[in-house]
Amino acid sequence: MARQIVFRYNGNTNTEEVEQDLDDSILLPARDSVYRRKGKSWRVAALQTTGSLDSRGPIPIVTIFLTDK
């Protein structure tokens, strides 16, 4: 099932990056794990799953909250 992955950096909504994961190939990290993105290491502060609807039905949206603090 297709899903959207949203990466949010340091809680700032202006830094969000959205990726379409059409074949579930993006592995979701565990909370408090280290995740490499944008050339640096980030700690996964939290994950949140919500949903959205489009013409094909529901689409899961997974927001990954990353912090470098």
Written as one string, the DSSP assignment of 12-64 is EEEEEEEEEETTS-SPPPPTT-EEEETTEEEEEEEEEEEEEEETTEEEEEEEE
The residue among 40, 58, 48, 57 whose CA lies nearest residue 67 is 40
- The pLDDT value recorded for residue 11 is 94
- What is the domain extent for residue 24? 3-67
Q: At a CB cut-off of 8 Å and minimum separation 6, what does 2 contact?
A: 20, 21, 22, 23, 59
- The pLDDT value recorded for residue 31 is 97
Mean pLDDT by 10 residues, the chain (69 residues): 92 95 93 94 97 81 96
- What is the total count of domains within the chain? 1
